[in-house]
Structure 1
Amino acid sequence: MLDIPSHVRVHVDPLIAAQNDMGVCDAIERNAPGGKPADMSAPNVPKVAGIDPVVPPPAQTPAPAGAVIQDRLAGWVSDLTTLHELTERLVSTRALDEALHAVVRAGATLVGARRGLVVLEPADGLGPTSTVGLGLAHAELGHIETVPRRAYGAASEGAREDAAPGPDLFVSSPDLFREEDLDPLHREVATRLGYAACYALPLTGPSGTFGSAVWLYDEPAEPVERRRHLAGLYLRYAAEHLARLVELERAHARVATLTEELLPSRLPRVSGVQMAVRHRTGPLGGGDWYDALPLPEGALGLVVGSVTGTGPGATAAMGRLRASLRAYAVIEGEDPVAVLSDLELLMRLTEPARSATALLAYCEPAKRKIVLSGAGHCPPLIVGERRTEYAETTLSAPLGMLSCWEAPSVDISPEPGETVLLYTEGLLRRTGDPMDRAFARLHAAAAGVPKAVREDPGAIADHILRTVLPDGLDAVESAADIVLLAARFS
């Protein structure tokens, strides 16, 4: 033990060991001196993530113990700052793919690598599975995925389910081409992609290991113990965050699958009309639905509707209403008002806590005649070469809002080649604009459909979605479902 003043007396060797064994936070708390000695005020070159400065300090006599302690404390503070910044970036991610990219970038910074990848592969086989890379093209990722997992992912295969990423679970290959037992396929891929070393850590969550992170070095190299420790701390937190996003992704997939099963598996073929539909379930699951029902004498029933609320309850209510409306439409489909009146009575008796909007169109393609009846729903949009306009429908309350619902129907006659668009309010809400501006945006998108695609209802629907939602269906923070049903009359 050094002979230094009692107010800064610290056991240096145990301090160094504590840094490696207990983590930076515990080491600082347990070994920090009680006061600030006078010789700790000298400036020091800052360190980032435990990386030594680029320019080494000039050779000099051994520094006083206080300066050594100050230098180590400054390094710990720098490490903590770096970890805080990286975890803050990670926690701000909402989507699984975005979080995976954040993890591979942060890990490359901590271990000093230029390229890397994260493989998401839950052991239970329930998905989702994904591979994202840093500095690797899509074809290069494909080559790496051909390498057996044991070559660089043994950390994940041998990890205990109750263990967190740490120095005892990493897999390091500091010089691949000097390893006698290197997998031949791994050697071939490493030669083709030009990396000479790799370092891997497992992704271990509460339910076990569900993937691994791998970083690649262009030259033979291996991260020092300090960097391995920082990467282990970061991966421990990142694995918990990714595990939560995996469970959320699975829940969204279950809701989407349930919704799709309650909707038509395909649209019917009816002479004189071409149809296409675009549907997207919100992240929480909702009650928007559509239907296309062949009716007697070559008629066709088109329906779009929305049940209030989100989640499995709204999805189940949507399924019940859709099945009931199909039955009523078969019985009296030529009278949409009667169909919606029956549906409203059913809702008051069986779904008293809910309301719904609906638009039913009884179509006779041979006559190009449509009889519309709506209950609190958005008006259809007619798109043709000579006009793009909203069809005038009567104002009415949603189903379940009044003790007795009834509203007159409206007749429209589309011209040959015109397309009638039926949609739900979710499409307008996803724009983020007030409703009047959202209606105007939808109208402008329909009016701008290129002539080359006006004969294809699917292409028309895709063009409108790209124009109304230029950032994509999933880019907008909204829980609303989307339904867009296009029917082109020949």
Structure 2
Amino acid sequence: MNSPHPPKVAGIDSTVPTPAHTVAPAPPAPGSTPVPAPHAPAPGTLLQDRLAAWVSDLTTLHELTERLARTDSLDGALQELLRAGAALVGARRGLVVLEPGDGLGPDSTIGLGLGRADLGHIETVPRGATSYGRLLDTSAGLPGGVGEIRHPDLFAEEGLDPRHREVASRLGYAASYALPLSTETAGRLGATAWLYDEPAEPNERQRHLVGLYVRYATEHLARLVEVARTRACMATISEELLPTRLPRVAGVQLAARHRSGPRGGGDWYDALPLPDAALGLAVGSVTGSGPSAVAAMGRLRASLRAYAVMEGEDPVAVLSDLELLLRLTEPARSATALFAYCEPALRKVTLAGAGHSPPLLIGERRTEFAETSVSAPLGMLACWEAPSVEFQAEAGETVLLYTDGLLHRTGDPTDRAFARLHAAAVSVPRALRRDPGAVADHVLRTVLPDGLDAADSEEDVVLLAARFD
């Protein structure tokens, strides 16, 4: 009968050393007569113990790697790495320094059982005097270099940097064990170290297990680093395609807020001065997400600016031209848009919308949605056309334009989301109503509480506020 094989786990080498608690029997002395032990183990017991230990270790690694694989953010993965590693090496505290060797970032330092002040104290130690610093700055942290740095008793160690000794005494750790975050495929990503309250070091079995785990974790972190870089790149491109500053126009104050989704979306806004001291305001959204949607958004916004300069006093004509361009150049894509022609001296607003949510008027005596005509999004019909509407703003009123992402991020049905938006506008404190930026911030935080305005979401959010003097 064949002996059972230990199970295989993806990314884990199943060859684990002999358990530390199993000891080989001593050989008999020369010339002596073997005497059977009174309680000798049955044949195969030692093999069963070893197999049981292997299965236990592989089960532990499988559970830990499964938990790590469920993390979808860098911070979450780094925290999980620290927790799992601490359990494997028997430490209580630790830190991980993410510093990719290609210099492209992102860089961060996260602690386990260490606050920001504690990490700040550790960072005052000369980098070359710390184990993680040596792993990051020398070939020890490169694939194929030294795999670990042990300090089993820092205070008994000769040549320890005085500042390191001072910080260790202040924070109450006496030993450390560090590993590089590097593999042949991922390169060098950083280093991690676990701290012991008393002189100690992991045994051979613990070092083997944590080494397997850290190699798997490094590959997972490499994938998350690429995702983070892509998201940062898309956010930068999206921001660069939007106005870097809002124009100054007599009689009106402007403010804008933009929250981009992790994949980069197609929500946009614009404000541009027009002839005869007029002002054009626009918000819109292109279907889809990712690079293609961002590129389409940039093309659409640039085209609308040109049409607004030529015929901005007629918002319907502006959107009709935009619809024709979209249908010819992006036949598989649709978009919503709203363009408003504002005359600040008269506080008069003429606007047209294509499948877009109505603006919100926020003032001392009224807070209401502007009446707009119902129309289809651009690119949905053979020929788009809808009548324009006019309204008069009062002195001190703010006109708030926004994209549907503000409503969709709430997770509520449309009617309830509109009610939440209206209630948020009503609740703007009187002291904030003179500042359109403060009005937009209050509405954003109230409609999307508990950090939903900053959390990752597939929906972009745009708010454009114009306060008339």
TM-score normalised over the length of structure 1: 0.84
- Between Structure 1 and Structure 2, the one with more helix by share is 1
Aligned to 1:487: 466
Are 1:394 and 2:383 counterparts?
no
State the Cα distance separating 1:214 from its structure 2 match.
0.9
Percent sequence identity over aligned pairs: 70
Q: Is the 8 A contact 1:103 1:238 kept in 2?
A: yes
AA aligned to 1:138 is: R
State the Cα distance separating 1:192 from its structure 2 match.
2.3
State the Cα distance separating 1:191 from its structure 2 match.
2.3
Are 1:344 and 2:323 counterparts?
yes
Aligned to 2:79: 101
The CA distance in 2 between the partners of 1:435 and 1:376, in whole Å, is 14
Q: Which residue among 245, 259, 263 is the counterpart of 1:284?
A: 263
The CA distance in 2 between the partners of 1:134 and 1:95, in whole Å, is 17
- Check 1:267–1:101 CA distance in 2 against 1; reply closer, same or farther (3 A cut): same
Q: Is the 8 A contact 1:8 1:66 kept in 2?
A: no
* Unmatched runs of 5 consecutive residues or more in structure 2: 6-11, 22-37
AA aligned to 1:315 is: V
Aligned to 2:97: 119
AA aligned to 1:158 is: S
Equivalences for 1:210-359 in 2 at 5 Å? 210-359=189-338
State the Cα distance separating 1:352 from its structure 2 match.
2.1
State the Cα distance separating 1:255 from its structure 2 match.
0.7
Please state whether the residue corresponding to 2:287 is helix, strand or coil.
Answer: strand
Are 1:90 and 2:68 counterparts?
yes
The CA distance in 2 between the partners of 1:413 and 1:380, in whole Å, is 13
Are 1:158 and 2:122 counterparts?
no
Q: Is the 8 A contact 1:160 1:208 kept in 2?
A: no
Are 1:463 and 2:437 counterparts?
no
AA aligned to 2:58 is: L
State the Cα distance separating 1:64 from its structure 2 match.
4.3
Please state whether the residue corresponding to 1:290 is helix, strand or coil.
Answer: strand
Aligned to 2:33: none
Aligned to 2:55: 77
Aligned to 1:46: none
The CA distance in 2 between the partners of 1:251 and 1:112, in whole Å, is 36
AA aligned to 1:155 is: L
Bigger mean CA offset, 440-449 vs 105-114: 440-449
Q: Which residue among 147, 158, 176 is the counterpart of 1:198?
A: 176
Aligned to 1:25: 14
The CA distance in 1 between the partners of 2:349 and 2:172, in whole Å, is 65
- Check 1:179–1:436 CA distance in 2 against 1; reply closer, same or farther (3 A cut): same
The CA distance in 2 between the partners of 1:431 and 1:8, in whole Å, is 60
- Check 1:24–1:289 CA distance in 2 against 1; reply closer, same or farther (3 A cut): closer
The CA distance in 1 between the partners of 2:78 and 2:127, in whole Å, is 18
Q: Which residue among 407, 413, 433 is the counterpart of 2:412?
A: 433
Please state whether the residue corresponding to 1:278 is helix, strand or coil.
Answer: strand
Please state whether the residue corresponding to 1:198 is helix, strand or coil.
Answer: strand
Q: Is the 8 A contact 1:270 1:294 kept in 2?
A: yes
Q: How many residues are paired up?
A: 443
Please state whether the residue corresponding to 1:228 is helix, strand or coil.
Answer: helix
Please state whether the residue corresponding to 1:399 is helix, strand or coil.
Answer: coil
Please state whether the residue corresponding to 1:269 is helix, strand or coil.
Answer: coil
- What are the superposed Cα offsets for residues 219-272 of structure 1, whole Å, 9 maximum, x if unpaired? 111111111111111111111111000000000111111111111001112222
AA aligned to 1:71 is: D
Aligned-residue CA RMSD in angstroms?
2.5
Q: Is the 8 A contact 1:159 1:209 kept in 2?
A: no
Q: Is the 8 A contact 2:92 2:196 kept in 1?
A: yes
- Check 1:253–1:51 CA distance in 2 against 1; reply closer, same or farther (3 A cut): farther
The CA distance in 2 between the partners of 1:459 and 1:64, in whole Å, is 79
- Check 1:203–1:474 CA distance in 2 against 1; reply closer, same or farther (3 A cut): farther
Q: Is the 8 A contact 1:278 1:461 kept in 2?
A: yes
Aligned to 2:88: 110
Aligned to 2:116: 138
State the Cα distance separating 1:427 from its structure 2 match.
1.5
- Check 1:388–1:342 CA distance in 2 against 1; reply closer, same or farther (3 A cut): same
- Check 1:51–1:338 CA distance in 2 against 1; reply closer, same or farther (3 A cut): farther
Aligned to 2:151: 173
AA aligned to 2:179 is: L
AA aligned to 2:444 is: L
- What are the superposed Cα offsets for residues 10-34 of structure 1, whole Å, 9 maximum, x if unpaired? 9xxxx9xxxxxxx872459xx9xxx
Q: Is the 8 A contact 1:161 1:207 kept in 2?
A: no
AA aligned to 1:102 is: E
State the Cα distance separating 1:162 from its structure 2 match.
4.5
AA aligned to 2:310 is: I
State the Cα distance separating 1:51 from its structure 2 match.
10
- Check 1:69–1:386 CA distance in 2 against 1; reply closer, same or farther (3 A cut): farther
The CA distance in 2 between the partners of 1:279 and 1:477, in whole Å, is 13
Aligned to 2:25: none
Q: Which residue among 155, 160, 179 is the counterpart of 1:182?
A: 160
Bigger mean CA offset, 436-445 vs 423-432: 436-445
Q: Is the 8 A contact 1:279 1:481 kept in 2?
A: yes
- What are the superposed Cα offsets for residues 344-403 of structure 1, whole Å, 9 maximum, x if unpaired? 122222222222111011112221111111111111111223322211110111112222
